[in-house]
Amino acid sequence: MTDHGVANLDPDTSSGATPTDYQSAALCAPGVFPIIDTDATYYSGYQTDFRRIRLLSPAPDGILEYLSTTAAGTFSVGVNNQNTQWLSLLIAPGTTLDKSNADFQSVLRSAQWHNDALILTPGIRTVEVIAFGAGGRSDTAYAYLNVPYIPSAGADTTFTVCVGTSPFLLASALADLGGMWSPTLPNGVFSPAMPLSGAYQYEIGNGVCPADTAWVAVIVLPLPVFSLGQDTSLRGAQFPLSLQAPRPFVWSDGRVASSFPAAQAGPFWSEYNDGAGCVFRDSVWLNTLATSSGVETIQTCFGQSDTWNGQYFARDTTVSAVFSGLNACDSTYYLTLIFSIPRFIWIPFFVVDRC
């Protein structure tokens, strides 16, 4: 037994700190915590003048972190500077040595660290416990308060998205990555193409403190789907064609209407924004069908006759006939008969289109 003051903050070393010191468990939330083990002891072979308990470092939350003792005034030890970062324990005059040792021990065991911040700033808080005795003798021990980093799941969030938009991370911007999603989301990525409206829970922890959780609600809006019809091939006489939309939409030329007069072939589109940010566009191609016509000249001898398309001819003449084409276009053929010479010449016909 030494002849000067000895403070052992953890006699059975259950906290894992070096002899006489104390290491707290992980402090995972704001609150009030003891700074020494419940079996802490104090002994001095000399009269103790006073003891000082001081929060050394760090004090990241300023006045929100402070020290106190619940035993103040209960024993022969008075306490100055309650609820500050510096406590002074003073022995009452006339207190016997044995009594002062027991009272100092009781007051030390009731010493507490307070943190009133909404969120703890991570880091090791060091609390110095030092005794000053007669003849300048002293003894010092340390308490280490462990405030670990606690990953954040972020705030509860609601996303409203449209079907088919790009996949995105579902966690809020303030959330730490690496947690677990329920239902499962690979890599935490949500794809609106799924689409699965509903609630998802995100949970993340550090292995020593309770996990932090957040809920993310996802509302997947359907696209305002409509159709302008199939791509179409038309005869020239079928233009202009009126394209129809379900309600006034924006058209390719910028007009807003429920119909659009397509005067010629080409691509046309209409777009609708439902006001919630979901945009849908449909397009249609209008093509002009190729038309055809034929010209045929027959030269034969005077006095002879010719039959064409069920008609009988015996003199110079020009006739035409209209036939139905394979692609719904009419084809027109022209025949010229010449009876001016005693022989006929075939001139190959060529095709000119007309619908």
User: pLDDT tens for residues 310-352?
Assistant: 677 767 677 666 656 555 556 666 667 676 655 444 444 444 4
Burial (CB < 10 A; 0-12, 13-18, 19+), residue 40, is buried
Contact criterion met (CB below 8 Å) for 333 and 320? yes
User: pLDDT tens for residues 118-153?
Assistant: 888 899 999 999 887 666 667 889 999 999 999 999
List of the chain residues with pLDDT < 70 = 1-5, 49, 57-62, 72-75, 133-137, 194-195, 234-237, 290-300, 302-306, 308-310, 314, 316, 319-335, 337, 339-355
DSSP of 327-352: TS-EEEEEEEEE-SSSS--EE---B-
Token code pair at residue 99: 């009594």
Give 157-221's CATH code, choosing from 2.40.50.100, 3.30.1490.20, 3.40.50.300, 2.60.40.10.
Answer: 2.60.40.10
How far apart CA 286 and CA 87 sit, in angstroms, is 89
Which residues fall within 8 angstroms of residue 36, CB to CB, at 6 or more apart? 9, 10, 22, 108, 109, 111, 129, 143
Query: Does the N-terminal peptide bond of residue 183 adopt cis geometry, omega within 30 degrees of 0?
Result: yes
Give the per-residue pLDDT at 350: 41
Task: Find, among 84, 86, 150, 70, the residue nearest to 118 by Cα.
Answer: 150
Handedness of CA 26, 29, 34, 35 (dihedral sign): positive
Burial (CB < 10 A; 0-12, 13-18, 19+), residue 216, is buried
Handedness of CA 60, 62, 64, 70 (dihedral sign): positive
Token code pair at residue 307: 């039959």
Task: Find, among 119, 121, 120, 142, the residue nearest to 130 by Cα.
Answer: 142
Q: Where are the domains of the chain?
A: 6-147, 157-221, 232-288, 292-347
Beta bridge partners of 52: 88, 130
**What angle (nearest 5°) sits at the alpha carbon of residue 230, between those of residues 226 and 231?**
130
Token code pair at residue 150: 């606690």
Give the per-residue pLDDT at 3: 43
CATH number of the 6-147 domain: 2.60.40
Give the per-residue pLDDT at 151: 93
Give the per-residue pLDDT at 32: 95
Task: Find, among 245, 252, 249, 241, the residue nearest to 227 by Cα.
Answer: 245
State whether residue 139 is helix, strand or coil: strand
Asked, colleague to colleague, whether 6-147 and 157-221 share their fold, the answer is: yes
Q: Evaluate if pTM is beyond 0.75.
A: no
Task: Find, among 252, 57, 53, 22, the residue nearest to 143 by Cα.
Answer: 22
Contact criterion met (CB below 8 Å) for 347 and 297? yes
Contact criterion met (CB below 8 Å) for 173 and 154? yes
DSSP of 97-134: HHHHHHHHHHHHHTEEEEE--SSPPPEEEEEEEEEEEG
Contact criterion met (CB below 8 Å) for 256 and 235? no
